[in-house]
Amino acid sequence: MNLNIKDTFTTENPADSNVENTRRQVEGAVFSYVKPKKTSAPKLLHVSAEMAEELNISSKETKSDFFKDIVTGNRIYPNTTPYAMCYGGHQFGNWAGQLGDGRAINLFEIEHNNKNWKVQLKGAGETPYSRTADGLAVLRSSIREYLCAEAMFHLNVPTTRSLSLSLSGDAVLRDVLYNGNPAYEKGAIVARVAPSFLRFGNFEIFTARKDIKNLKSLVNYTIKHHFAHLGKPSKETYINFFKEVSERTLKMIIDWQRVGFVHGVMNTDNMSILGLTIDYGPYGWLEGFDFGWTPNTTDRQHKRYRYGNQPNIGLWNLYQLANTLYPIIEEVAPLNNILEQYKIDFEKQSFTMMKEKLGLIISDEDDVKLIQELEENLQLVETDMTIFFRLLSNFSSKETAFNLIKNAFYNLENISDDVKNRWNNWFKKYDDRLKIERISSEERKEKMDLVNPKYVLRNYMSQMAIDEAEKGNYSLIDELFKLLKKPYSEQPENEKWFAKRPEWARNKVGCSMLSCSS
């Protein structure tokens, strides 16, 4: 395995002078050197061949003991220095102080085909930022992250990537629902990859500590390596940097809304500076279309991170980043203008996204009303979001519409006449609206099927893979991995996965209820 190793992050940013791996406050440093914990009996369960290729690792090399040892933390690649990053964050709206890579260890940077990638292990042991935790991960959460990151990539949603999923061979103690019933589970490690794992919180920690020198230094590094097109560091460049981070954040969240993804814990330490979906913890996919749904048990009371609030939380987090960058910009107006533009752009982009989901291309003054009525109807009765929009691309007439989408309803036999009438009225309006479009129904279907996935990683699907893996059967991980590489394709051989959540999964832990340990 001959990797093209770079070390821009560790050579261009200040390191923690204390090399002891003890939990502590780390000041004046962007990262701390730390070695992964050696595991007792590592076993490689799955590798993303596609991601390995991006790193110039061949399929033959991924089958070697050397690769297995690297991605389980049992061996350090020659001439590299693993590290954990220091950052803070606002958690559920409150400043939490220093957080940092508590169970993530960055192995190295690889440059290949003019792309720079950071490779990181999640669950490879404690770091100075682990606080009261052990820095380890369990199989269930690792399967969820491994599968979802690659699924999101193929859905065309900006995301970190997955390289490998491994068992550590060690038992890990976890309390799944934080209800005082801890149990030992299989330990696991995910090797994940991104151009950068920098978060809003990496910058926040310096401003909070009034360490403007290191704030400026880290911003300059980030611009140099990830926003070089903005030019040399200057006040204007910093403003444009914030503008682009804002735009990327919004694009990511619009994509989440499009496919029905709910992140579950949009704290500022979980917000990527590159606008990537990062940290797959208590995430979930909408089953019934519901703006008020959150998958996170910790968030159940206030629902801060519910599906319909994700765009607002993106804006709130950007306000925190604006406050963070203010000391090196020293002007409020340009930052406020960017934040105001986010609100305008959200309205525009959300509207455009919904029109695309409905196959509407030309403009019509009644489109806003048509979309609002649809969203109201979708909440009148539990309606599967993914199935509804996918089947809608087959729409041909209002007469056949109800039969077309009845498979998206959870409780078809109990739908009232009033609800049916409201749906029929909407389908009549939709039928009339489609008549003014200038493309054929075939072209419309083709366009709609590119934005409305047929297959997403539903929570019960992940849980089925987890249940099988706990018994030692890992075949379902591979089956789902392959299925989700082509989420927009019909895949008739996989039709069984184009189905509503089964009733057994409605209230099952891991399917409807997820904690931050998920």
Please identify every residue annotated as catalytic: 269
Phi, psi of 90 (to 5 degrees): -95, 120
Do 143 and 462 contact (CB within 8 A), yes or no? Answer: yes
Side chain identity at 18, as an amino acid letter? N
Nearest to 399 by CA among 374, 433, 428: 428
Question: Can you read off the two tokens belonging to residue 120?
Answer: 């990181």
CA–CA separation, 5 and 42 (whole Å): 24
Nearest to 1 by CA among 46, 59, 72, 83: 59
Ramachandran assignment for 237, one of left (phi > 0), alpha (psi -120 to 50 degrees), beta (any other): alpha
Q: Which residues contact 228 (CB under 8 A, 6 or more apart)?
A: none
- Residue ranges of E strands in 195-246: none
Burial of 76 (0-12, 13-18, 19+ CB in 10 A): middle
- Residue ranges of E strands in 330-399: none
Q: Which residues contact 170 (CB under 8 A, 6 or more apart)?
A: 39, 40, 41, 136, 187
- Tell me the residue length of the chain: 518
CB atoms within 10 A of CB 478: 12
Residue ranges of alpha helices (H) inside 127-211 are: 139-154, 200-208
CA–CA separation, 486 and 483 (whole Å): 6
Question: Can you read off the two tokens belonging to residue 461?
Answer: 């699907």
CA–CA separation, 494 and 492 (whole Å): 5
CA–CA separation, 273 and 296 (whole Å): 23
Question: Can you read off the two tokens belonging to residue 433?
Answer: 């609206």
CA–CA separation, 197 and 274 (whole Å): 8
Q: Which residues contact 403 (CB under 8 A, 6 or more apart)?
A: none
Do 93 and 47 contact (CB within 8 A), yes or no? Answer: no
Question: Can you read off the two tokens belonging to residue 445?
Answer: 């279907």
